[in-house]
Every structure is written in structure tokens, then in C-alpha cells.
Amino acid sequence: MQSDMNYTIEEYTNDSIRHLEEAWLILEKGDDMTYYQSYKWNMIIQHFTPQYKGICKLLYLLVKQGEKPLLIAPLWIIEKTFLFVNKKGAYLIGRKGWSDYLNFVYADCSNDVFKVLFDYIYSKLHLSLCCLEQIKEDTKLYAYLSQYVTLNKDCLTTCVSLMIPKGVDDYKQILSKKSRQNIRTANNRLNKDGRSIVFSFEDHPNLTICESMRQERVEVKNKFRIHSLKELIKCLKNYLKNKFIISFPVFLPFYEDKSLRFVSAYIDGELAAYFCYGLDEYHKKVVLMAVGTNNKFAKYSPGVLALYAYILNLIERKEISLLDFTRGDEKYKYSLGGVNHYIHDVSFNL
């Protein structure tokens, strides 16, 4: 434990994370927090973060002022540089997985708290390198890092989200003429072929079918065609790096997080598309995670129709303020009115 300017820092391991539950449930309500900073989500992902004795471990740092919890830092520590590509340093738990946004867990957090934390990481944990990935651009943490830290790297990734409009007419006005036409065309194709489509916004689909549909999508998405020597060299470098880098267990969120929900489209009673989502009740936001489309029905754009119907439902219910499509700039996100926001992968030396 360290004491500085009335701050104290306590260390917890993954075996003692339950002692942090009370503080965590308070801090996860902070304005910068997302579904991925929630206690329940972190209880899941800790089991999918590698730990090897003497090489890497999980560590949770709790910063307090008196008895008041101010910040929890969920860290994945690489204790020594391993096989060249695994650099000794502090990383955030949740990397290389389903957590689209990473951060410390905090509510009313001042720059002094960040400074005390990083000083502790350097002086007590004897770590210099910090690699903090997927930090939302509009957070206090990124503001602190961009202003007070000399960054070795700052890589930008595009995310897309939709602020839920107040009314259906308002929503339709933000859609492009092409988007509105594509939705009409998809419905016309269904009618012409004599097919019926039904949507469910809190579905309980067959998860085995969902997994199979997702796998087909991933295979198509990841199909890599080499068009130049530069792309070939990049491919070989990535292959060699992946041979030596510490690997993270692969999992599907809807098997592990029982609180996740589904938006689904059924055509003639058969699952045609689904979107698995997490509901952030504190902040009135929805984050989309795993998605899948049945190729048999692809020409009807069932995923777009399902999300369009879901958005209209959210407008009517007036309970959700934001639908977050999260990482990636796929066309369907923009066709439904989504706009860009950004996350940053940063690295720096303390």
C-alpha cells in the first residue's frame, strides 16, 4: 500500500476481486464508463486473460482518498519481456477480446488521481512501459494522457454510434435517400417472394445456430487476398508475430454473459439474422457485440431490417439514448444513421 497526498493504493489479485465489488459498483456509474467497465463483465473476462507464473498476471489497483474509492485500474501485467514481442509493462484487462472500450474504472476522477496511479506503477511495480488500448477519445483518461504524457504511439480506430432521435420522423430525416430506398427494396423482395419476416428484440435464439452463422461471417470477413509484395511482407510479419505473442483464449460472449440480449429476424420461422447486445442501464446505452446473418436470406438484408425495426422500437420506448455499433466502419452502420467516434491505442514510458 502507498500513501500520497491523502491517497492510498491497494493491490488485489483476480482471486480477491470480489472484495472490490462494492467500490466497483459505485465507480462503474461514472460518465466515462461503458458496459465493458462493469463489474459483471470484468468478472467474466478475467477468466479469458492469460496468466503464467513469472511471465504475466492480473492485478487490480484501488485508489482511495480516506475511505472513498476513486479509481480501479484493472491491469494485465507482463512481468518480463518474453520472446521479444511480449514487452514488459502494464496493459488493460480486456484487450484482445470482446471489450470494445477499455479504461480504468472511475467516476469523479481528477488528474491528480491518474498521476498518483502512474507514479505507483513506476515506483512500486517497477514498470516503465504502459500500453493502454481502446481508450475512448472523449474520456478524462485520454484527455489526461494527451495533455500530460509524451506518447510513443497513438493509433486511432473508428467506431460508430447512433444517438436515438426523439421521434420516428426525426430519425427518417437523418437517413440518406439511398438508405431509405434500400430498406424499401428489401421489404419489396420479401413481399415479391411471398416471405414473411418477424423481429424479436429480446430473443432467446438457438446459440449453436448463432455460433455457426457467426463463423460463416468471420470466415468471409477474414478472407485475405494478397495483391502486392507489400501486403505479402505484412502478412508474413503478422504470422511470425502471432507465433510468439502470448495468446488469449477465444470465446463467444453470449455463452459467457447470460445478461446479453438478442435482436433477431426470422424469415418464415427460420433465424435469418441476429445481433447480440449488452444493455448499459446506468447510461441508457446499448452496445452491439456478436452478429450473424444466414446467407440463405442475405438478399433480403435481414440484419439491416432488424436493426431498423429495433431503432424504431427504441424511439417509441424512449428508454435508451444511444445505440453503439462499437468498433468497425461497416456500411450498414452508416446506412442506419450512425456517425463516427474514435478510440485510441496509446503507449508511453513512465
List the Cα angle 276/281/287 in 5-degree steps. 30
**CA angle 223-236-245, nearest 5°?**
95
77 in helix, strand or coil? strand
In 3D, which of 326, 341, 343, 339 has the Cα closest to residue 288? 326
CA separation for the pair 44, 205 (Å, rounded): 21
pLDDT of residue 30: 98
Given the C-alpha cell 507514479, which residue does it identify? 119
pLDDT at 221: 61
- List the grid coordinates of 284: 441508457
Predicted local distance difference test score (pLDDT) of residue 3? 43
For the chain, the farthest-separated pair of C-alpha atoms sits apart, in whole angstroms, at 71
pLDDT of residue 225: 60
Q: For residue 1, what pLDDT is reported?
A: 42
Cell digits of residue 114: 491518474
- For residue 52, the 8-state DSSP code is B
Distance CA 144, CA 142 (A): 5
pLDDT of residue 243: 77
Look-up of cell digits 481502446: 134
Question: Tell me, what DSSP letter sits at residue 95?
Answer: T
Q: 130-189: per-residue pLDDT in tens?
A: 999 999 999 999 999 999 999 999 999 999 999 999 999 999 999 999 999 999 999 999
Query: pTM of the predicted model, to two decimals?
Result: 0.92
pLDDT for residue 31: 97
Residues with pLDDT less than 50, the chain = 1-3
Could you give the 3-state DSSP secondary structure of residue 26?
helix
